[in-house]
Amino acid sequence: MDKNQQEAIIKYSIGAVVTYFLIAKPILTKFGIIKSDKQISIENEALKINSAWNPNYWKQFKKPIIVTDKAADDILYIIQDSFGVLADNYDAILAQFKKLSYKTQVSYLADKWQQKKGTDLLSFLGNGGGLFPWDGLSTEHLSNLITFVNNLK
């Protein structure tokens, strides 16, 4: 291989790397084809033992503060109904969580959701139950919701 070929290979390699990181990766992340660091941290939140998003978190307390089954059903119905084909109603979802004061209440909702739907509530919020990568709350909205819940008592 002569010097010109080596230089061409180096130039194309550098161009490919720059194109990937500056163009392809942001587009793939935007459409949910690859996960951003923020998305990975959101998914890890649900796995934490002491996370309010864990359906078993509320069960570790002798007298946990939870919501009634009727209230849980109402809240979960509104959350699910807030996801649409063309747009999601983040404000309606946030309003449901603002009704709560304790992490145990969120955990109880996550438990009820899991019992009824067989899926994880936080994951549902992230994907909206849809098939397309753009379904569900945005990473920013989901991050804000997690922060709000983490600041509950």
Rounded Cα distance, 153 and 106, in Å: 11
| Average pLDDT score over residue span 82-86 | 75
**Across the chain, what does the average pLDDT equal?**
79
Domain boundaries, the chain: 1-34, 35-150
Q: Under a CB-based contact definition with an 8 Å cutoff, are residues 71 and 78 in contact?
A: no
Backbone angles phi, psi at 112, to 5 degrees: -60, -40
Q: Answer whether 0.95 is exceeded by the pTM.
A: no
Distance of CA 130 to the CA centre of its chain: 13
| Each residue's pLDDT tens digit, 29-75 | 666 566 666 566 666 665 566 788 889 999 999 999 898 999 999 98
**148 pLDDT exceeds 70?**
yes
